[in-house]
Amino acid sequence: MSSRSSPTSHHQLQAAARPASIRARFVPSPVPADGRTAARLLLDVRDVAGMPLPGAQLIPVVSDGTLGALEERTPGHYEATYAPPESLPEGDAKLKIVDANGGFEQTTEVPLRHDPRRLLLGITGGWVQSPGDAAGPRFGLDAWVPLRLGGSTLALGIAASYGAVERSVADPGGTLTSRSKAAFVPVSLRLAYEALAVRRLSVALGAGGVATFARFQNSLAGPEQQAWGIGGIAFATGVVALGRGHAFVELSYSYAPAETADYRLDAGGPAAIAGYRLGIF
């Protein structure tokens, strides 16, 4: 009788892919906390050698908002959709990433910002240091439409303000006095670029054109005269999210002339304006 030995096979088990580092970023960043922006979470996953790691078994979880399914787009690069919350949470939003095979865990902040809104209407007031007698307080209204262009946030706006000036000139003997009055309304069309945005603060830089309408009167010179002129403006605006809208402070310099055959004024100059824009929707 003979015996036979059974053949044996040896299999080497390969260890599951485990990450050593993960770089997470959101697009756009920061993400508006408006409940409607379609954002993306992008993960760059590396192994201990610093090489892209395919086939990683990752579980991402956010404390605020909603994440879609994580998909591998290219080796080591993963993507998921992110729906932000409808408003800013009380504390910082967190992203936690766990390796399903164990041994790795990472927590980072979700970069959220205030809702820039889609249409804002505002009231403004401040001081414009115009040349000559035209310097003085200004009060006005404005409207803003924020929009996204690629990775940038822009805004289109229109602003109108009102100012008035009065001047009296008497002859040396004081028997004859001439009183001149001017009322003017500069209206500006603007384009702004958001240079900085964080949780509740943002800073925008912009420029635009100014059309100024003016009405002149003189007690001795006959009928009222009207004029208009074209100029320009450059400005920087700081915004703080407050309630359903934005409180803001603006520093600007403008050229806003209006001229007739007898009168001329420039309603521009350096200005400091503050106001509040209410988010309509």
Per-residue pLDDT tens over the stretch 207-223: 999 999 999 988 776 78
Per-residue pLDDT tens over the stretch 222-272: 788 999 999 999 999 999 999 999 999 999 999 999 999 888 999 999 999
Give the pLDDT of residue 2. Answer: 47
Per-residue pLDDT tens over the stretch 98-155: 999 888 999 999 999 999 999 999 999 999 999 988 899 999 999 999 998 887 899 9
With a pLDDT cut of 70, the percent of the chain lying above it is 90
Per-residue pLDDT tens over the stretch 50-93: 999 999 999 999 999 999 999 999 999 999 999 999 999 999 99
Alpha-carbon dihedral 64, 65, 68, 73, rounded to 10 degrees:
-80
Angle, vertex CA 27, rays to CA 22 and CA 28, nearest 5: 140
Residue whose token pair is 């100029």 = 231
Give the pLDDT of residue 16. Answer: 59
Give the pLDDT of residue 171. Answer: 60
The three-state (H, E, C) secondary structure of 27-55, written as one string: ECCCEECCCCCCEEEEEEEECCCCCECCC
Report all structural domains of the chain as residue ranges with CATH numbers, in order of start.
21-113 (2.60.40.10), 120-279 (2.40.160.20)
pLDDT band at 175 (very low <50, low <70, confident <90, very high): low
Higher pLDDT, 173 or 206: 206
Give the pLDDT of residue 30. Answer: 96
Give the pLDDT of residue 95. Answer: 98
The pTM assigned to this predicted structure is 0.84
176: helix, strand or coil: coil
Give the pLDDT of residue 10. Answer: 47
Say how far apart CA 218 and CA 193 lie, in whole Å. 43
Per-residue pLDDT tens over the stretch 244-254: 999 999 999 99
Give the pLDDT of residue 1. Answer: 44
**Cis preceding-peptide flag for 28 (omega within 30 of 0):** yes
Per-residue pLDDT tens over the stretch 147-170: 988 878 999 999 999 999 987 666
Say how far apart CA 204 and CA 191 lie, in whole Å. 10
